[in-house]
Amino acid sequence: MRTYVVTGSASGMGAASAERLRAAGHRVIGVDLRDADVIADLGSEAGRRHAVDEALRISGGTLDGVAAVAGVGPAMPDAAAVASINYFGPVALLEGLRPALERSGAGRAVVISSNSASTVPLIDDTLLGLLLDGDEGASRDHAATAQAALPATVVKSAPSISAYATSKLALARWVRRTAVTPEWGRRGVLLNAIAPGAVITPLMTGSTDVTATPDPDSFPTPMPLGIFGQADDIAFWVEQFLRPEARFTTGSILYVDGGTDAAMRTDAQPTAMHR
């Protein structure tokens, strides 16, 4: 039996991930705003400290894996909160729990990015830089200011779409930059990201004008498989990344989106290194 922390464990992909790990016989420490072992708001510094402290206390200071699943979608009215929750929340949690992962001898961490990072044409380069610089105050201020400048039609349907896509891109880049540093890679703590596409969860149905059973052929982005994902489709890969046998994969971004990114950006990956 291994011990894992799963954020966002009360619903959606986080709940499916926690359930899958428990079904495999593992101990799961759930973190969420409600119905969890640790009640914490990852959008605040105090909430993140509380989540880290409680996870360490409950686990005894050693963790086999962390799945940072918690996040909010583009329908959230407050773009500043999106930046805090989607980027600074998982980054602070994983940095705080890294020593506990190292103690296990085969620590694994996985975060949830999004294919919106590469398929939404509203990336805010200034916000991206502020996020990656770790400046939460400036990130929040800029996200709020940029949100006010968005067209009214965009704000009506997805008020935080730019902050959402940008925060998910920043998170993916943080994973790639961090995973290969000595304190992670050389100490056996592997770090990867999953980039889901259109998955039927409360976050998706709350962020789009779709029903619980939308038509994939009328969806705004291509759906090559003709189906939507389910929360367990993501939970499956969360579990794989957290397995101790996953010993030679770090810094990867796995698209689990039914082929949407491949359809929209066929030649974008891989890119050749040029001298």
Active-site positions read 164
End-to-end CA distance of the chain: 48
The rounded distance, in Å, linking the Cα atoms of 70 and 247 is 25
DSSP single-letter state for residue 254: E
Asked whether 221 and 119 are in contact (CB, 8 A), the reply is yes
Q: What pairs with residue 109 in β-bridges? A: 66, 191
Q: List, in order, residues 6 or more apart from 164 with CB less than 8 Å away.
A: 72, 73, 74, 76, 82, 86, 114, 116, 120, 158
Strand locations in 46-116 (E): 65-68, 108-112
